Structure 1
Amino acid sequence: MKTLKLALIGMLLTVAGVANASLIYQSGSYTYYEDVNGLEWVYASPCAGVGGCGNDVTLIDDFRFPTELDWNTSFVDLSALITAFEIDLNNTNACASAYFGSGFSHCDFGNVTAGYVWGAPTSIASSPTISFGETFLVRNQARSSIPEPTTLATLALGLLALRLRRKA
């Protein structure tokens, strides 16, 4: 019985290690902001989303270029965008991400604070079409909640262990 318990624990640790080896969803790879209207925003690139700095932003993980309605529902003006992403010269965490394929991930705080925000309406951006304007992406929050294989394996092994314990 002791050998069986050790085998179960070993299997559990093996399955958990394999499942965590590759990430299903990388939330730590970009600067992220969730608004109260059900939208998730990311700081995607320090260049225009299309035709800026030589590479276009890649739309992945259900992110898309925001519409004027998205902008206006989430941010009343430029200062609301700056506050939401905590953009200032002391916050090096609020930088654009190379995750979206633009090839650039540096922080252009001056561009954002000057209103160089690509694709934003003029109520937010002073220069929404400039090639070095910062690009933000948006997606709806509704993401399916699919249990990871580790969760299911842990549950199955736990139920099996309980059953074996009752028989013993």
Structure 2
Amino acid sequence: MRLMLSLLAATALLGAAAPAPARSHLGQEPPGDVLIERDKLQWVWAAPCATLEPSCDVPLRHHAFRIPTQRDWHASFNDLLDLVQAFTLSDGAPRCGSPWFSPSYDHCDLGDLQIGAVWRSAFCIPGYVDGCNNRASESFLVRAVPEPQSLVLMAAGLVLVGWRTRRGMRPAG
């Protein structure tokens, strides 16, 4: 009996010390390998649910990502096939940003994308349980790609701030 209690206690201690399962990257900047750049826009497949209510889980918008307009859709993709190809990796897996945007899901449903269940996109297919407005339609978010001039200006500003800070730290002499 004592041996049994010792084993149970050891198992409980090991279980408590075990690392937690991988957590979502919710709210963090998504890595470049889940983003697609088209027409000066960065696109991310944000969730397997609608972007607004009614939804199975509304994806969070952060890091300047917003809901795409019809103009964004038409400027960036030719049709549903173009969208599917852009967000399908060479091994057939989806290029999914859901872990960075969805509070509950860490996956994207490639099958739903392929049949046009894309929430309020220019390429949704209304016939599949209203793929344009269904709560479980795939959601995409978009943001403007930073212009190179903006990055150069920002770098110059940081250099100037660093120079002024360093200059102010010199001992008087």
Which of the five TM-score ranges fits, normalised by the shorter chain? 0.5 to 0.7
Aligned partners of 1:101, 1:110: CA distance in 2, in Å?
18
Query: Which residue is 1:56 aligned to?
Result: 58
Q: How far is 1:60 from its partner?
A: 0.5
Matched ranges for 1:72-83 at <5 A: 72-83=74-85
Structure 2 length normalisation: TM-score? 0.62
Calculate percent identity across the aligned residue pairs. Answer: 31
Aligned partners of 2:51, 2:146: CA distance in 1, in Å?
24
- Are the aligned partners of 1:44 and 1:137 in contact in 2 as well (CA < 8 Å)? yes
Q: Secondary structure at 1:138's aligned position in 2?
A: strand
Q: How far is 1:103 from its partner?
A: 1.8
**One-letter code aligned to 2:35:** Y
Matched, 1:31 2:34: yes
Aligned partners of 1:87, 1:120: CA distance in 2, in Å?
21
Q: Secondary structure at 1:79's aligned position in 2?
A: helix
Structure 1 length normalisation: TM-score? 0.63
- Are the aligned partners of 1:30 and 1:42 in contact in 2 as well (CA < 8 Å)? no
Distance verdict in 2 for CA 1:119–1:139, change over 3 Å = same
Equivalent residue pairs, number: 127
Matched, 1:132 2:136: yes
Query: Which residue is 2:99 aligned to?
Result: 98
Query: Which residue is 1:46 aligned to?
Result: 48
Distance verdict in 2 for CA 1:69–1:115, change over 3 Å = same
Distance verdict in 2 for CA 1:130–1:30, change over 3 Å = farther
Query: Which residue is 2:20 aligned to?
Result: none
**One-letter code aligned to 1:75:** F
Q: Which runs of 5+ in 1 are unaligned?
A: 1-24, 157-168
Q: CA RMSD in A?
A: 3.0
Matched, 1:118 2:119: yes
**One-letter code aligned to 1:101:** S
Q: How far is 1:84 from its partner?
A: 1.4
Aligned partners of 2:136, 2:89: CA distance in 1, in Å?
17
Runs of 4+, deviation exceeding 6 Å? none
